[in-house]
Structure 1
Amino acid sequence: MDRFTGKTVLVTGAASGIGQATARRFASEGANLVLVDRNDMGETAKGMSPDRILIHTADVSDDKACDGMIAAAVERFGTLDVLVNNAGVYSGGDPAQLSNEDWRKVIATDLDGVFYGCRAAIPHLEKSGGSIVNTASVSGTGGDWNTLPYNAAKGGVVNFTRALAMDLGKRGIRVNAVCPSLTRTAMTEDMFDDEEALAAFRERIPLGRHCEPEEVAAVIAFLASADASFITGAMIPVDGGVSASNGQPPQ
């Protein structure tokens, strides 16, 4: 497929995990790519055409850095067609013991960063008739134990996506989100070293396994493409059926 030939796609959190898989998916479909992360993106960029790629280091919790990444994308490629807000961090624990720093770090990256990126991108996406895809989470559609900052941030992304879709629809910009469940990424690496915890997760997933980043990337690419031209304000679960459950144990 070449659904994105001639299109410019910016992906945050592109150094690893879902962001890396998403960048590679768009590259395989012909996009010009702007890779954004705080970390080295050499592995993501490996094998990509230098003519169709821009590597831009930025921290999305900084509003000026988000302004800069959008400006750099348009300066390099002349347009912006797709913004994928994927960058995220995690912090959890006993709510009574959470520090201000832990709370702000998650909210600033996972929620503020989505707002900053969208705000800067809107004028350019309006010109191109583009779209936004946000990486939310099943943790944004329901609560988890000892995961308060992440739940709050991702819940914010979910309703932010809905509200922004309403505001931008008449301006020709679609806004959607994916809501993955347990996915093998750098963020979940410790969990995959704990076989007992992993088994408990798999028991709650109807498909009986974790998600791979490429599976989320495929849905992101669909939502960003013309194949989803009448979809906006949608939260697409990429969760193996987790959200289909009412929470009762297997019979």
Structure 2
Amino acid sequence: MVMRALVTGVSAGIGGAICDHLSTTYRDALFLTMCVRRPTEYVQSLATTCRLRGSTVSIVPADLSQPEAPADVVEKTISAFGGLDAVVSNAGMARPGPLESLELEVWDQMFAVTCRASWLLAKAAFPHLVQSRGSFVAISSQSGSHPHRGTGAYSSAKAALTMLCRQLAIEWGKHGIRVNCVSPGMIRTPMTEAVYQDERTLKAREAIVPLGTIGRPSDVADLVEFLIDPASRYVTGQNIGIDGGLSQTVMDRIPGLARKRET
């Protein structure tokens, strides 16, 4: 089966893992656009790896905070591959800080990259996804469902992205387009690697995850592949958490709850 896919925010984290995973699965049946802020050495190397597997790869640099950029990326994808089966909106940004002192420009940029760009990508891709009865997947975050201090506009922007996907799903279902959201928890990426270099922090984080480990970008890639595959033809409008069960532990942390003693 041919897969014509557009993935944004490709870097050495989740976006790169998704591209690597798709090229491993579809090989010479994959026609892939990697949308990047800038074509780093990692991106070039990943594209070469995918091409060696037989995949056709196009690297498109774009600043998705600019209103015209998402439609331009879609247009270049269509021009190169003649159609589109899946869009994975992964690009995002994080600028931590307290809301009372957050600058307006930072708030606007966070929403522009995280939520507005996803809407504009979906809007531009819509007629092509209608033709293919394709799929749109956005990478949100558990922060979009569970706020925590110091994240600035991040949680708000991710929450908006999650609702955007739910809205698109009910509007586009009649066209056979599936729209879903993936919300990772703690994932060990190059962006977060410095935190996990501290052994105490690593162990403390692992201890609060029911599965006892921190996730990997490949875990997210597995889920994304399922969601864009026809095998998930009856799954739409979902926000699927991928966090080892962490988001289910809020009640478990209340002091004084009765617990059966282990023997």
Residue 71 of structure 1: which of 43, 66, 75 is its match?
A: 75
TM-score normalised over the length of structure 1: 0.93
- Which structure's CA Rg is the greater one? 2
Aligned match of 2:64: 60
Q: Distance in 2 between matches of 1:83 and 1:208?
A: 32
| Structure 1 residue 25 corresponds to structure 2 residue 21 | yes
Q: Distance in 1 between matches of 2:62 and 2:153?
A: 22
User: Once the 2 structures are TM-superposed, how far is the Cα of residue 97 of structure 1 from its aligned partner?
Assistant: 2.1
Q: Distance in 2 between matches of 1:199 and 1:146?
A: 22
| Structure 1 residue 90 corresponds to structure 2 residue 94 | yes
Aligned match of 1:141: 145
Residue identity opposite 1:44 in structure 2: L
Q: Distance in 1 between matches of 2:80 and 2:233?
A: 26
Residue 43 of structure 1: which of 18, 42, 45 is its match?
A: 45
Aligned match of 1:9: 5
Residues 90, 187 of structure 1: 8 Å contact kept: no
Count the aligned residue pairs.
247
Matched-pair identity in % = 33
Give the gaps of 5 or more residues in structure 1.
Answer: none
- Structure 1 segments, 4+ long, off by >6 Å, are none
Give the gaps of 5 or more residues in structure 2.
Answer: none
User: Once the 2 structures are TM-superposed, how far is the Cα of residue 51 of structure 1 from its aligned partner?
Assistant: 6.1
Change (3 A) 1:155 1:242: same
Aligned match of 2:185: 181
TM-score normalised over the length of structure 2: 0.89
Q: Distance in 2 between matches of 1:192 and 1:86?
A: 22
Q: Cα deviations across residues 113-148 of structure 1 (Å, max 9, x unaligned)? A: 111111111111011110001101111111112113
**Where do 1:206-217 residues align within 5 Å?**
206-217=210-221
Q: Distance in 1 between matches of 2:251 and 2:118?
A: 30
Aligned match of 1:205: 209
| Structure 1 residue 113 corresponds to structure 2 residue 117 | yes
Q: Distance in 1 between matches of 2:146 and 2:101?
A: 22
Q: Cα deviations across residues 3-59 of structure 1 (Å, max 9, x unaligned)? A: xx4220000011220000001111112221110010222132132227611111111
Q: Cα deviations across residues 158-198 of structure 1 (Å, max 9, x unaligned)? A: 11111110000001100001110011123323322344443
Alignment RMSD (CA, Å): 1.7
Residues 96, 154 of structure 2: 8 Å contact kept: yes
SS in 2 for 1:60: coil
User: Once the 2 structures are TM-superposed, how far is the Cα of residue 249 of structure 1 from its aligned partner?
Assistant: 2.1
Q: Distance in 1 between matches of 2:144 and 2:167?
A: 15
| Structure 1 residue 223 corresponds to structure 2 residue 219 | no
Q: Distance in 2 between matches of 1:56 and 1:196?
A: 40
SS in 1 for 2:126: helix
Q: Distance in 2 between matches of 1:145 and 1:200?
A: 18
Out of 223-232 and 98-107, give the one that drifted further: 98-107
Residues 162, 233 of structure 1: 8 Å contact kept: yes
**Where do 1:95-106 residues align within 5 Å?**
95-106=99-110
Residue identity opposite 2:24 in structure 1: S
SS in 1 for 2:93: coil
Q: Distance in 2 between matches of 1:104 and 1:129?
A: 33
Q: Distance in 2 between matches of 1:211 and 1:35?
A: 23
Q: Distance in 1 between matches of 2:251 and 2:154?
A: 20
User: Once the 2 structures are TM-superposed, how far is the Cα of residue 247 of structure 1 from its aligned partner?
Assistant: 4.2
